[in-house]
Amino acid sequence: MPKSLLENLDHYLEQAASCRKQAASTDLAKERERYNKAAASFERLADMARRVQHKRSSENVDSHAP
C-alpha cells in the first residue's frame, strides 16, 4: 500500500463525510441516494482499515510477548 493505513483511514472518513454533506445539500432523490451509497462504501472501507490496523497491532503485541 502506498499510504499508511492511518492515512487511508483518514481519507476514507473524509470522503464519507464529504459524500454525506453532498447528499444533505441536494434536492434530487437520485443524487442523494448516490452520495449516500458512496458514503456507505467509504465507511465500510474505513471499518475494514480499522480492523486490519487492530489485527496488525495485536499481532505486533503478541510477537513481542515473552
- Give the structural domain span for 34: 7-59
Give yes or no for residue 54 having a pLDDT over 70: yes
What pLDDT is stored for residue 38 in this prediction? 97
For residue 31, is it within any domain?
yes
* Stretch 23-30: mean pLDDT: 96
Domain count along the chain = 1
For residue 65, is it within any domain?
no
How sure is the predictor about 30, in pLDDT bands with cuts at 50, 70 and 90? very high
Give yes or no for residue 1 having a pLDDT over 90: no
> Which residues are CB-contacts of 60 (< 8 A; sequence separation ≥ 6)?
none
Percent of residues in the chain assigned helix, strand, coil, to nearest 5: 85, 0, 15
Give yes or no for residue 23 having a pLDDT over 50: yes
For residue 55, is it within any domain?
yes
